[in-house]
Amino acid sequence: MNSLPRALYIHIPWCVRKCPYCDFNSHEQVDPDFAGYGRALVHDLEADLERYGSTPFTSLFFGGGTPSLFPPQYLEPLFKKLRELNLISGTTEITLEANPGTLDLGHLSGYYELGVNRLSVGVQSFNPDVLKALGRIHDRSQAIAMIEHAKAVGFTRINVDLMHGTPCQTPAIAREDLDVVRDLEISHLSWYQLTIEPNTAFYSKPPKLPDEDILEVTEEIGSEIIESMGLAHYEVSAFAKPGEEAKHNLNYWEFGDYFGLGAGAHGKITTERGVIRTQRTRQPSNYFARTDFHATEHPLSDGHLGAECLMNGLRLKSGISYACFEERTGLDPVEFRAKHLMEADRLDLLTSGRFQTSELGWRHLNHVLEMLI
């Protein structure tokens, strides 16, 4: 297999309060050791470079948890190391997730000066009843103020996360949320339906959610408004103006490689031994106590490679090419399709010549993906 594009994911595991729908590795902690964690991230990076070699990163993504809790000065050692080794440049996409309820607006200038050039703002809704039902700790005015301040600092690339199908939400509320995004002239939107995941508070005590009729109306209204904003639907839950697609997420969806630094972070690396999944210990206390900074490796079997690639790739409206599939899995695309997706072809759920859903297949994407499991 050839050397693939490589990205870098950095996990910040702390939150002020864990949301009832969240199944990510996040922990409520009053006084985290930010300085120690910043140093540990550098050790993680050095361990991965030692094991997997040095290739410049196409993108960086700080996820969580709540990365905007992290004072920017404690990320300086990581950025210094990345620049010393020529792993990032002025053209590298560097995204940081921000929660309006926790962000010290003064941090924004610090992130921007470090080199962060894209923000992903976890708004979820601008409606007070929905925000309360979702356990969010910000309000409408805080979210709007944070986005406007980010623009004033110099951020031109901003994503907003919005949920629909949430407790207390009506089609009218969903419309109002999208109207605010329109007024803010956002260039990228993640608009997705709430799903109840295991190991969450909502799973143990499910909330009342909108029924199917309301969900259908909401999606119709939302699609019309988003299209009118000039945002193209390029992935299941992602919409962007031309050229504003998230490079980091595209790398995931196209089955590219990435390092995962920080507590609980996952990575995926293509090596001479095959494709390796990596994982670091989840609990911050255990993460700090380590003496070996190498991640745990989990080799991917050939039997899982093709399915994993397409579970991501088919989420893209454009799908992925046969050439990309073969490069990233080492498998013959025509043989794989004939063996695993014959039923999808029989039902006209895929286009010919590449792994891409037809319009019918896009509407029944979950059915297509189930064929791969």
- 29 pLDDT higher than 80: no
Range 115-142 average pLDDT? 93
Residues 6+ apart with CB under 8 A from 32: 14, 69, 284
Rg, C-alpha atoms of the chain:
21
pLDDT band at residue 1 under the 50/70/90 scheme: very low
Residue range 249-289, pLDDT digits in tens: 999 999 999 999 999 999 999 999 899 999 999 999 999 99
Q: What is the pLDDT of residue 102?
A: 66
Q: Where are the beta strands (DSSP E) in 217-306?
A: 232-235, 238-240, 257-261, 266-271, 274-279, 296-299
pTM higher than the cut 0.75:
yes
Query: What architecture (CATH level 2) is domain 301-373?
Result: Orthogonal Bundle (1.10)
Has residue 236 got a pLDDT over 50? yes
The pLDDT tens digits for 288-314 are 999 999 999 999 988 799 999 999 999
| Cα–Cα distances in angstroms (integers) from residue 364 to residues 19, 236, 359, in the given order | 30, 11, 9
Assess whether the region 6-251 and the region 301-373 belong to the same CATH fold: no
Q: What does the pLDDT read at residue 104?
A: 67
Q: Any idea where the domains of the chain sit in the sequence?
A: 6-251, 301-373
Tell the CATH superfamily of the 6-251 domain. Answer: tm_1862 like domain (3.80.30.20)
